[in-house]
Structure 1
Amino acid sequence: MKWLQNGFELSFRIRPAGLALAALYAVACWATWHLSVDQFFLPAGIRVAALLLTPKRMWPYLILGEYAYFAQMRYPMIEDYGMAWVIVGSACLIPAVALIVHLHHKLMAFTTESWLLSIAASAALVATALKLGLIHMLWPVPPSMPFYTNAMLYVLSDYIAILTVAPLALLWMRRRSHYDWTTWRRHPTLAALALLGVLGALLILVSTQAHSARATLQLLLVLPVIALTCMHGWRGAAVGVPLMNIILSQTMPTTGFPGSFDETTFFTQQIIAITSTALIALGPRITHHYHQHAPAPMTASRASAFSRSAHLANEQDLRERALGLRQIADDIEEALGETVQQLKADGHEAPATDLLRAFSRRSRRFRELTSMVYPTELEHAGLYVALRAGGLSETWNASHRIVRPMLGGDPCQLSMGLQLAAYRTFAEAVSLFLKEETGQIQISARCGRYKGVRGIVLNVALLDRHRTLASRTMERAIDRLSARAHAYSGSVQCRGHRITMVLLDTAGEAERGTLPNERSDICVTPTRQ
């Protein structure tokens, strides 16, 4: 075969970014090793976090980085523990943990964040089994500590370290999810974080000989973490649990060397490990039920945005129809003009005049009806001009029941979508009053700002303040007007003789330019009409 005759070539590409990643990982493991003790081994957490954050194509560089980290640390141990243990013990840990992370890959996408506990427990157990198994197999003299005690220490040490670093990696992985981090500025959250800091400071100040006081303070660290979990779900646990573990590890009595061990703190850590597990498992459940039973602000905002988009799409369709009708009217006028000129040229002056007069009346009415399909005046002169000079105004005047509108503020500061929504809302509300109520009707509007957001308040009321709207009118008003009001984060209220509608321009600039030929720059409206 050709490949046997000519040989074969192995080629692979070395990425500079991969080498940088390997170096960064090795340095991170080396630095955290110096901050670790026997009962809190941070490199185990760095290993899992790096595998979670790094694409699988870059995992070989993480393996290279771990080999470099072990090489500088274990090379001096060759004489004491043998070459076989140094090579095999250094080579098998990260591939085993990488396999665990790989097997959990599907769970990360289709389940809640509690899969992190499965990874932490599996990685701690497998790493401990490999480390202790190879130690007892390859060391010339096995360790003096009983296997069961050593295994419990290693498992707890790795498990706590993973729960300290991996939740922070999970926060980074979910950074693009729709979550409002400004809620962390609220006073209860700040108080819980401050309490964590105060308890940590007290642990530093309390004497290492006061075992009872230290154990009490260490257990009290759980309380603010529980509060953060209740307030912010799994994100609260992902922030609180690492802070609690770091405070606990950095305030326990140590000799300053990696092999330090404190028996009192170890018993506290066992309780903390169980608590951390419960909080991280409970956090996703709190978040899940919160989203299921309490509509989030982000969900309401997206629903309003979808509703606004639907209304604007409908307005765009109506605009195109209105322009098409006007084009037809222009063509008819042009043809009629030619006919009139021909009649006059033939000496039929009177029929031409009568035809022109009759068509002018109908043409004006046609254009009024067309402007009610879509108010093009609104694009060029604003909402108030469209209300006072368009086809809607003519219809109102023909009813002889609408008194002079009271219009204040500058609607040209509002987005075109909001002005159109206000126009439609006004038209629907007045139409409802004309059909369901008797007597004179007063309409008013006021544009302005509310809590830094531009908006408009619309009122349609009976001129007789002593009358009350019929219940049927109120029910129909709520049914017909609420959709547009809610699309603009507003409301509809029926009180006494009036209906009040509020629309807020929460989308603002995002909606500007949605409709063609929007000319808010030349929209001129008096501040008071």
Structure 2
Amino acid sequence: MLFAMRGLALAAGYGGGWWLLWRMSELYWFLPAGLRFGVLLLAPYRYWPFVFAGEWATFALMNAGIPWLGPLGFVLDTFPHVLVCAVVVRALRGAWPRTRLDDPEDVVHLLVGALLAAVAVTAANAVVLQVVGIKDDTPLTYTLLTFSLGDYLGIMLLVPLMILLLRARPTRSQLRSLLRHALLLLLPSIALLFALADTEPSLAQYARTLMLVPVVYFAFRHGVRGAALAMLAASIAVTAGAGMAQRADAPVEAQMFLAVAGAASLLLGAAIEALRASGERLALQNARLEGTNVRLDQLAQSLREVARRNLRLEEEERRSLAAELHDELGQNLTAIQTRVKLAHERLHAAGLSDVATSINDILATMRRTVRSLLNTLRPSVLDEFGLYRALAEGPVRDMLATAGIAYTAQLRGDPTPIDDDTRTAIYRIVQEAATNTVRHARARSFVLRMRVGPHGGRTVVLLDLSDDGIGLPDAPPGAGRYGLQGMRDRVLALDGAIRIRTGPAGTRLRVLLRLPAREAEASGAPAEAETEAA
């Protein structure tokens, strides 16, 4: 019951609209063709019989006063048009299920469907005229072209607005913007067209061409919605201007102008909307990527904090183990050495002085081993001498000198703002690099350059370690590779960067470490250090 009531309401509304638009139509454009095409395009298939009935009933009422048409002429003049248009629309809906105007491809579907429907309905009408026997002095080709363009213009002027009103209604801000630009640009252009309509044909043609300016502007500024509205207003103005001048001698020319201008403006408007939508999607994607990058940065920062905490725990464990070795094993070795000294005379008297000497040698070797182990576990020289002196005069220099490698240390900048974790990491990196040089490089010299200074609101530490050896060979696992990985881990944990270049001319290792901004602000490093660190 509800379906029937809706169908009857649709038939009545469609029939009334069809009759009203028929009264408003001119030779340039046939608006009922647009209403027929739009309703068939947007209405569900189950309501199509009501559309057919509404048009046929309207035709019956309109042709009731034409007795010479005859029953056959009445049937042929009433029934074919909507059926032919329905066939074309059915094929169009199969190829264009979206029925929207979001991009130029949608507009192309609409324009092609409109052209096919206009040509098909005009051809059917021509057949009807031949069957009924209505003769006209106008050439058939001219009649077909005029009526086809009229139907095409009617579809192009009404259907885009129907689609936009049902599928993409404008907001209040969009309506206000359309009204403002219509008052500023469209109305003055229409007024100029009316003013020049009754003048020379060349000026009238110039004014008609000038109507393209607001149409193109509306398409560029408001997309396909603005193009549809501006084209409808421009078409009405052109038609009204021709009527004022009583110049209907070249309707095909005006129709072609309106058809080309309308198709171009709709395509331009759709392209502009598609471009804007693409820009919005790109901006949204960029915002999502920025959010993802922020989360990744937060995760990386968390991982660096965890790695730094692990390094700190490792150093604390090393310090604790070193203290245990120093307190327990060191004291026991001292006690053993003291007892051997006390027993030395008795061993000598018993002829066992060589045993005492051997024991002392063993104890000395053990003390050196323990001392080396303690220095590896926790470089006490850092606590005793500070970073710069430890690097310039500490165990690193001794190790290189023992291996016969010349050592040069160039240290600049104020190391005061460097925290304990970074200081330990710097020393470990230099220590590991020197160890690799001694073990693998066969070098004659080792150079350490270190710069400390503020840069970009943060304290920057730049390490440059190089030797003149044979480079890093393709060594088996464990031959220096673990040390390099350890250096990388320390640098990454401190939010730094490391780069290693190796070759026949030697190995060069560069490390950049950045301290937090609050530590950089406390730094009093001179401008020279800042320049060299950068």
TM-score (norm 2): 0.50
In 2, Cα distance between equivalents of 1:224 and 1:244: 9
Structure 1 residue runs of 5 or longer lacking an equivalent are: 1-11, 315-432, 439-464, 480-495, 499-529
- Does structure 1 residue 18 correspond to structure 2 residue 7? yes
In 2, Cα distance between equivalents of 1:16 and 1:162: 28
- CA 1:119 to 1:206, structure 2 compared with 1: closer, same or farther past 3 Å? same
In 2, Cα distance between equivalents of 1:213 and 1:133: 40
- CA 1:436 to 1:204, structure 2 compared with 1: closer, same or farther past 3 Å? farther
- CA 1:61 to 1:89, structure 2 compared with 1: closer, same or farther past 3 Å? same
- CA 1:191 to 1:234, structure 2 compared with 1: closer, same or farther past 3 Å? closer
Larger Rg: 2
In 2, Cα distance between equivalents of 1:135 and 1:261: 27
Selected match of 2:90 from 90, 102, 109? 102
- Does structure 1 residue 84 correspond to structure 2 residue 84? no
Where 1:253 maps in the other structure, the secondary structure is helix
- CA 1:214 to 1:22, structure 2 compared with 1: closer, same or farther past 3 Å? same
Deviation at 1:306, TM superposition (A): 9.7
In 1, Cα distance between equivalents of 2:164 and 2:268: 16
CA RMSD of aligned residues (A): 4.2
- CA 1:467 to 1:93, structure 2 compared with 1: closer, same or farther past 3 Å? closer
CA contact (8 A) 2:223 2:270 kept: yes
Task: Give a deviation string over 1:139-187, Cα, whole Å, max 9, x none.
Answer: 3x422211011111101111111111011012124317xx877466569
Structure 2 residue runs of 5 or longer lacking an equivalent are: 99-104, 300-417, 424-453, 462-491, 496-515, 519-534
In 1, Cα distance between equivalents of 2:59 and 2:194: 33
Where 1:263 maps in the other structure, the secondary structure is coil
Q: Which residue in the other structure is 2:203 paired with?
A: 213
- Does structure 1 residue 201 correspond to structure 2 residue 191? yes
Deviation at 1:272, TM superposition (A): 2.3
Q: Which amino acid in 2 is paired with 1:295? A: E
TM-score (norm 1): 0.51
- Aligned pair count reads 312
- CA 1:244 to 1:164, structure 2 compared with 1: closer, same or farther past 3 Å? same
CA contact (8 A) 1:120 1:159 kept: yes
- CA 1:55 to 1:305, structure 2 compared with 1: closer, same or farther past 3 Å? farther
Q: Which residue in the other structure is 1:356 paired with?
A: none
Deviation at 1:436, TM superposition (A): 10
Alignment map for 1:451-462 (pairs within 5 Å): none
CA contact (8 A) 1:192 1:227 kept: no
CA contact (8 A) 2:198 2:244 kept: no
Task: Give a deviation string over 1:433-477, Cα, whole Å, max 9, x none.
Answer: 999999xxxxxxxxxxxxxxxxxxxxxxxxxx99813589xxx9x
- CA 1:71 to 1:298, structure 2 compared with 1: closer, same or farther past 3 Å? farther
Task: Give a deviation string over 1:343-389, Cα, whole Å, max 9, x none.
Answer: xxxxxxxxxxxxxxxxxxxxxxxxxxxxxxxxxxxxxxxxxxxxxxx
In 2, Cα distance between equivalents of 1:281 and 1:73: 37
- Does structure 1 residue 112 correspond to structure 2 residue 106? yes
Where 1:219 maps in the other structure, the secondary structure is helix
Q: Which residue in the other structure is 2:120 paired with?
A: 126
Deviation at 1:45, TM superposition (A): 1.0
In 2, Cα distance between equivalents of 1:53 and 1:163: 15
CA contact (8 A) 2:41 2:93 kept: no
CA contact (8 A) 1:37 1:261 kept: no
In 1, Cα distance between equivalents of 2:206 and 2:91: 40
CA contact (8 A) 1:89 1:131 kept: yes
Alignment map for 1:109-508 (pairs within 5 Å): 109=97, 112-139=106-133, 141-175=134-168, 182=173, 190-191=180-181, 194-206=184-196, 208-253=198-243, 262-264=248-250, 266-292=252-278, 294-296=279-281, 299=284, 303=288, 468-469=457-458
Deviation at 1:211, TM superposition (A): 2.9
- CA 1:169 to 1:437, structure 2 compared with 1: closer, same or farther past 3 Å? farther
In 2, Cα distance between equivalents of 1:212 and 1:435: 89
Q: Which amino acid in 1 is paired with 2:137? A: S
In 2, Cα distance between equivalents of 1:471 and 1:148: 85
CA contact (8 A) 1:228 1:240 kept: yes
